[in-house]
Amino acid sequence: MQLPSLPVMVSVVLLLTACGPQKERIPALIPIPAEMKTLPGHFTLKPDARIAWTGGVGAAVSAETLVSELRPSTGFELSTTEGTDGDITVILDPASEWKSEEYRLTVKRKSVTLTAGTSEGLFRGIQTVRQMLPPAVFGKETAADIKWTMPCISVTDYPRFAWRGMHLDVSRHFLDMEFVKKYIDILAMHKINVFHWHLVDDQGWRIEIKKYPKLTEIGAWRVDREDKPWNSREPQKNGEEATYGGFYTQDDIREVVAYAAGKYITVVPEIEMPAHVGSALAAYPEYSCTGGPFTVPPGGVWPITDIYCAGKDETFAFLEDILAEVMDLFPSEYIHIGGDEADKTEWKQCPDCQARIKKEGLKDEHELQSYFIKRIERFLNSKGRKLIGWDEILQGGLAPEATVMSWQGFEGGIAAARSGHKAVMTPVSHCYFNIYQGDPATEPESFRGLLTLKKVYSFEPVPPELNAGEAELIIGAQGCLWTEYITDGATAEYMILPRLTALSEVTWSPAEKRNWEDFNIRLLKMMDRFDAAGINYSRGSFHVDMSASYDDSSGSIVLELTSEQPSPEIRYSTDGTDPSTDSPLYDKPLKMTEKATVKAAIFREGKMTGRISAKSININKATGMKVQYNIPFSDRYRGHGDRTLVNGINGSGDFNDGHWQGFEGTDMDVVVDLGQLTRITSVSSSFMAAVGSWIFLPRGVEYSSSADGSNFTPLGTATTLTDPADQGNTTETYFSSFPAVEARYIRVFAHGQIRLIKMYLKHLFL
Ligand code: ACM
Ligand code: ZN
């Protein structure tokens, strides 16, 4: 994925209202059921409870599933018998009218009844039963001293969408079998029913194919450059051994498919084509246009020019062989063929591809891609399967039966639906969980942009411009997790949770049942469940966002503290100490007139619920002064305009935070007018590197001063010793001190590799 900038975080005006304790009595179910009525009293699950089942083998299996899901944490060896009079009774009733996956759950003081028309419906209901019990039920070890009670309730529940998906990229970083199963467990507890497994990409081929063993012997391994930033990793050199990677054997794949099937989750494999296949071409270069050679790239590649040759029939034979093995392993109705981000440069130059264009009467390379996808679709359809691909498969004409996965926005899904095709919505703006979920300064390195929990929760998969018939073709929505910056399972969990929790409600619950405030109350219980299950997650939504602005008229800095949390109790300090329950309660924006470090956090019932946010206010002699730009700043990275560099506010880790200003080209050259002769002894300026976004530190900075604005005398220089390839995401301060001078104008000249710069001056003394 390579995308332009994303929207910045939306702040929320604080509402200080009380959350009633009566909410505690309502079970914290996520996703919220379609219909739910609370009843008085509780049911208590005892060690001698009997689980009865009726309605055939599906009911018996579901009863066993319930027992095995309750066993580890309760330690209860519950017995199952055929019948209708258990303490808990599981009923399979296919005769009645049921919506797909529907179940009904009634909890009374003395008995629990779970009924559905399918064992799939029963399984979704079992997930609700677990959430009715104390969070400790999600633990793997027997929990002592827990009373296993459920509030009495009547639930009728069914999903809004048929496709409730979550994707996982295992190419950019290979994640092992144990984690893949844990990921499926997480999906199941959220009533997600599609696991989209991204098994192929440039940086690794992860599925064993018997007919083409080199796909994993060669394609699954790359040189280890994990110590370097993703987008500046040198390709494999001659003689270097490829040691980093991994793959799933066909037995592993079968195990995952069966494990997911046990949780009524369909695994949809993605076998990328025609591009994002550097790993495959490293193994079999004969299916490229050029013949290679290729190596598996150890990091980012852009643009994606390595591509299968669409002119050679052998390419299609190769792909059909692969897909035949894939279809033997995956019983899913859909096979995902990728189709995204294919740069057609090679096709333009390849005689075979050009001959194909001519022979088939195609207009251009877009139509050649369409030919490619249609030909693959015919093969899949001939085996009774359906093709799904990223929205680029619309280019040059959509294959007749294809379903579109709309990622670049909503447009692909809209275009698909308007032409009578199905679509799954996974727009980057709401569904890419590899994007930062909070301030980059405190989050693990991620894709640029910001996708907050609240934004995910606000997602409406059906675009309003579709009519009712077209809207029916939006079969669901999906979260995506690309793993360029994710090397281990714990980080993957942290990135998807709780955003997947929000998405589960978007995809399962009726739209009118969604309520952000109520969701946040239920989310706290969900987090207790994650804790019990040993699942990592982000508390980013309990983060205080600090937004500072420079007030020209008063020369002060106004600091606003906000949070996505409804009714947050924010406490803050200005002396650098950590805030506590004794710290002042934030109720209105803070007016800052002096240097300070402000720290703030959210508290709830006497405890800090998230992390501490901090912001340095750096008021100094340059603050608010006039800046003359000898080289203009980039319009794309303008910060808040002319005074951005001297607003006295340190930039955060996010270069879109309004406090950084960017310069595209080679140099930066600005002059700060202090208004009068001023005695200074040092100057410093801060710069950012974000190599993934092609933002580099300057090689060096020259400071000079002048009394009249035309004759400048050097003050000092500061340089960086950091190699561009090692810069990653960092901020560096270029400091220079010197014998005191009297000056009115300070010139700052930075020599780049620069694309983005934040500069401010400090330590200026009269
Ligand atoms: C994608 O993110 N390239 C589908
Ligand atoms: Zn070709």
pLDDT single digits (tens) 538-561? 988 888 988 888 887 777 889 999
Q: Does 552 participate in catalysis according to the annotation? A: no
Q: How confident is the model at residue 216 (pLDDT cuts 50, 70, 90)?
A: very high
Span from the CA of 727 to the centroid of ligand 1 (angstroms): 26
Instruction: Write out the residue limits of the CATH 3.20.20.80 domain(s) in the chain.
Output: 163-509
Query: Cα(393) to centroid of ligand 1, in Å?
Result: 12
Instruction: Indicate whether 301 pLDDT > 60.
Output: yes
CA distance 368 to 366: 5
**CATH T-level assignment (fold) for domain 541-617:** Immunoglobulin-like (2.60.40)
Q: In which band, very low, low, confident or very high, does the pLDDT at 759 lie, cut at 50, 70 and 90?
A: low
CATH number for 163-509: choose from 3.40.50.20, 3.40.50.300, 3.40.50.150, 3.20.20.80: 3.20.20.80
Average pLDDT over residues 646-656: 82
Q: Single out the catalytic residue among 276, 336, 421, 543.
A: 276
What pLDDT does residue 25 have?
61
**Range with the lowest mean pLDDT among 145-159, 351-365, 415-429, 738-752?**
738-752
Q: Is 1 in the pocket of ligand 1 (CB under 6 A)?
A: yes
Q: Whose CA is nearest to atom 1 of ligand 1?
A: 1
Per the annotation, the verdict on 201 as an active-site residue is yes
For 231-240, give one letter per residue: b (16+ CB within 10 A) or e: bbbebbeeee
Ligand 1 lined by 432 (C-beta under 6 Å): no
**Which atom number of ligand 1 is nearest to the Cα of residue 338?**
4
Q: Does the active-site annotation cover 341?
A: yes
pLDDT at 760 over 70: no
Q: What is the mean pLDDT of the chain?
A: 92
The ligand whose atoms approach the alpha carbon of 275 most closely is 1
Residue nearest to atom 2 of ligand 1 (CA): 1
Q: What's the half-sphere exposure (Cβ side, CA atoms, 13 Å) at 579?
A: 28
Given a contact cutoff of 8 angstroms between Cβ atoms, the answer to whether 196 and 332 are in contact is no
Question: Going by CATH, does the domain composed of 626-757 fall within 1.10.150.120?
Answer: no
pLDDT above 90 covers a percentage of the chain that reads 77
Contacts of 607 (CB under 8 A, 6+ apart): none
pLDDT at position 636 is 82
Q: Which of 166-180, 371-385, 413-427, 594-608 has the lowest mean pLDDT?
A: 594-608
CB of 341 within 6 A of ligand 1: the answer is yes
Band of the pLDDT at 665, cuts 50, 70, 90?
confident
Instruction: Answer whether 351's CB lies under 8 Å from 311's CB.
Output: yes
Span(s) in the chain for CATH 2.60.120.260 = 626-757
Better pLDDT: 421 or 564: 421
For the domain made up of 35-157, the CATH class stated in words is alpha beta
**Chain position carrying tokens 């007139």:** 593
3-state helix, strand, coil in the chain (%, to 5): 25, 30, 45
The tokens describing 399, both together, are 């294959």
Say which residue, 565 or 577, is predicted with more confidence.
Answer: 577
The whole-number average pLDDT for the span 33-55 is: 97
Q: What is the reported pLDDT for 253? A: 98
* pLDDT over 50 (residue 11): no
What is the average per-residue pLDDT within 440-452?
Answer: 87
Q: In which residue ranges of the chain is CATH 3.30.379.10 found?
A: 35-157
Closest ligand 1 atom to 428 CA: 2
* pLDDT of 694: 79
Q: Is 407 in the pocket of ligand 1 (CB under 6 A)?
A: yes
Question: Which residue has the least CA distance to atom 3 on ligand 1?
Answer: 1
Q: Is the pLDDT of residue 41 over 50?
A: yes
Give residue 721's pLDDT: 82
Q: What is the arithmetic mean of pLDDT over 140-168?
A: 97
- pLDDT surpassing 60 at residue 32: yes
Per-residue model confidence (pLDDT) at position 550: 80
Find out whether the beta carbon of 3 lies less than 6 Å from any atom of ligand 1: no
pLDDT exceeds cutoff 90 at 728: no
Atom of ligand 1 nearest to the CA of 341: 3
Task: Report yes or no: 297 and 245 within 8 Å, Cβ to Cβ.
Answer: no
- Residue 546 is predicted with a pLDDT of 85
Region 71-99: mean pLDDT is 96
What pLDDT is attached to residue 650? 82
Q: Could you tell me the pLDDT band of residue 4, with boundaries at 50, 70 and 90?
A: very low
Which of 120, 201, 377, 484 is catalytic? The answer is 201
Q: Could you identify the residue written with the tokens 């698909």?
A: 416
> Diameter of the chain by CA atoms?
97
